[in-house]
A = this chain, B = another copy of it.
Amino acid sequence: MSTPEENFAKLGLNLPPAPKPIGVYKPLLVDGNHCFVSGHGPLQDNGILQIGRVGVTLSLEEGKLAARQVGLAILSTIKANLGSLDKVKRVVKVLGMVSCNNDFEKHPYIINGCSELFAAVWGPDNGVGVRSAVGMGSLPGNIPVEIEAMFELI
């Protein structure tokens, strides 16, 4: 069986730099054998947050890729704080928030961009937790997707 780090390496994806807090909070906090991760945005490899609104300035596919980029930013935060993706045993909970207009309906499809990444890293059982996917009126700095998560540690 391959490790989460090995699984991630096989994907051929880059990790953006670990995001710095843009307010009074920690990106990640360890509490017993759990770790909580703050709401993350789609931080790009150049350190700049992608902006836009899903279904308005971003297509469905672009929105799903933005959610994957949020997932990559979360992985980067995990590596920066815990040293390795292998320190995480499994995904417990994801809250996926999509910035979109009131008539948008495809939130689960968008957030799958992050969830499929986690499933590829930690596997189809451990990489999949509970989830809510919902539509926000607005998100900080006009980012299209914000995701917070909770993991169980090894």
The answer for the CA separation of A129 and B27 in the assembled complex, in Å, is: 8
A130, B38: Cβ atoms closer than 8 Å = yes
Interface residues of A in 8-52 (CB under 8 A from B): 22-29, 31, 36-39
A106 CB–B CB distance under 8 Å? yes
Q: Which residue of B lies closest to A109 (CB)?
A: B23
Interface residues of A in 107-154 (CB under 8 A from B): 107-109, 111-112, 115-116, 119, 128-142, 146, 148, 152
| The one of B39, B93, B109, B132 that contacts A133, using a Cβ cutoff of 8 Å | B39
CB distance from A41 to the nearest CB of B (A): 10
Query: Could you say which residues of chain B place their CB within 8 Å of the CB of A136?
Result: 134-137
B36, A134: Cβ atoms closer than 8 Å = no
B38, A138: Cβ atoms closer than 8 Å = no
A73 CB–B CB distance under 8 Å? no
Query: Could you say which residues of chain B place their CB within 8 Å of the CB of A24?
Result: 112, 115-116, 119, 128, 131
What residues of chain A have their CB less than 8 Å away from a CB belonging to chain B? 22-29, 31, 36-39, 53, 92-95, 97, 100-109, 111-112, 115-116, 119, 128-142, 146, 148, 152
A-B pairs with beta carbons under 8 Å apart, 8 shown: A23-B112, A24-B119, A36-B129, A36-B130, A104-B137, A107-B139, A134-B136, A134-B139
